Amino acid sequence: MKMFITVILTASLFLGFAMPSADVITVKGSDTMVILAQRWAEIYMAKHPGVTIQVTGGGSGVGISALINGTTDICIASRPMKQSEINKLKARFNVLGVEIKTAKDGLSIYVNESSPVREVSIDQLKKIYTGEITNWRDVGGPDAKIIIYGRENSSGTYVYFKDNVLDGADFSPMTQTMPGTAAVVNAVAKDKLGIGYGGAAYGKGIRYANVKKDAKSPAYEPTEENIKNGNYPIARYLYMYTRNRPTGALKSFVDWILSAEGQQVVTKVGYFPVR
């Protein structure tokens, strides 16, 4: 027993009980949110010169893995954490993670500017993305093959779309996976027969197709009003996750994001505030 206590004390003195540095905050995750997080970081750092905030993307899945591995302080995610991910956090840190809803987003459907298709239903989207509908003619477009663009499976947008639009079904093998929402927008902007999905804030240079719940429902644009009142059928929250209840510099940053000033940034970047 004496030996055990001696070893513990020696090792703890040698290694130290390193606590995370309060002045450097790392943020990692969703590509949908990366621009928003960068804007938050820039403005916050300008106001708080003692704080450094490092923001990187990679996808919600990558951010959540980093949170579980202890390599990021904040995970940004465009989908909620799965139970299996919470279980990993429980196994390593004995915590459930703290979920912070930071913004709202209408998951937009992009078509090329020249496309005559103005609206699609959730069912049509499901059929397009599972490969059941392969011709634009079946959704009111020209007689031409639909070229579908999507995201990698590490993306929260991918998971959200799969769970909420495809009802968990697999994407068609013809889906061309893109490394980020900007890449999806870029591909659809260049491809007259393309269709893609992603965050509203990325929708520059292409046109949104309005979305309707089912064939009989009216189609809605992903506007703030439609998203807030629940008319737009594929709206979602954008999240931040921390391992523990935020304290110190981390708490100040999170509080600022939820303040009127932080929420103004949300609007400026093109998403919708939660407060």
Partner 1 sequence: MKRLCCTILVVYSLVVHAQEKDTTSASLQEKVTELKEQADGLNEQLLTLTPIVDALKKIKISGYIQSQFQVADADGVGSFAGGNFAAGVHSRYQVRRGRLKVNYDNDLTQFVLQVDATPGGVAIKDAYVSLKEPWTRTFGLTAGVFDRPFGFEISYSSSNREAPERTRMYQTLFPGERDMGAKLEITPPETSPMNWFNFKAGFFTGMGPTAQENDNYKDLIGRAGFLLPMRDAGLEIDGGVSWYLGKVRSNQRAVYKMDGDAKTFAYDSTVANIGSYFDRTYIGADVQLYYEIPVLGGMTVRGEYISGKQPGTGGNSATSNYSSFYNVAGTALYQRNFSGFYVNYVQNVGLSNQFIVKYDEFTPNSDASSNDIGATTPVGKIALTAGDLKFTTLGLGWIYHWDSNVKFTIYYDMVTNDKVNSSAPAVLAAFKDDIKDNVFTARVQYKF
What is the b/e burial string over 128-158, where b = at least 16 CB atoms within 10 angstroms of the residue's CB?
Answer: bbbbebeebeebebeeeebbbbbbbebbbbb
Reported residue count of the chain is 275
Site map (CB under 8 A) of partner 1, residues 207-246, x = contact = ------------------------------------xxx-
Widest pairwise Cα distance in the chain:
82
Helix axes of 248-258 and 260-269: crossing angle, nearest 10 degrees: 60
> Is 251 a residue that touches partner 1 (CB under 8 A)?
no
* Strand residues in the chain grouped as ranges (E): 24-29, 52-56, 74-77, 98-106, 108-111, 119-121, 147-151, 176-178, 194-198, 207-212, 235-242, 272-273
Closest CB to partner 1 among 41 and 159?
159
State which of residues 101, 113, 153, 261 lies at the interface with partner 1 (CB under 8 A): 153
Q: Any contact of residue 13 with partner 1 (CB under 8 A)?
A: no
45 Cβ contact list (under 8 Å, min separation 6):
51, 52, 53
If binding is defined by CB under 8 A, does position 114 make contact with partner 1?
no
Coil, strand or helix at 55: strand
21 binding partner 1? (CB under 8 A): no
Nearest residue (CB) to partner 1, 24 versus 96: 96
Site string for partner 1, 31-70 (x = CB under 8 A): --------------------------------------xx
Pick one of 47, 92, 101, 268: the residue that binds partner 1 (CB under 8 A). 92
Pick one of 54, 217, 229, 247: the residue that binds partner 1 (CB under 8 A). Answer: 247
**Contact between 24 and partner 1 (CB under 8 A)?**
no
What gap in Å lies between CA 275 and CA 272, rounded to an integer? 9
Instruction: Tell me which of 8, 54, 145, 259 binds partner 1, using CB under 8 A.
Output: 8
Least distance CB 172 / partner 1 (angstroms): 12
Place of tokens 């609007």: 267
Q: Does 144 bind partner 1 (CB under 8 A)?
A: no
What CA–CA distance (Å, rounded) separates 193 from 114? 9
258 binds partner 1 (CB under 8 A): no
Give the interface with partner 1 as residue ranges (CB under 8 A).
Answer: 1, 3-4, 7-8, 11-12, 15, 17-20, 69-71, 82-83, 86, 90-96, 98-99, 153, 163, 168-170, 173, 176-177, 243-245, 247
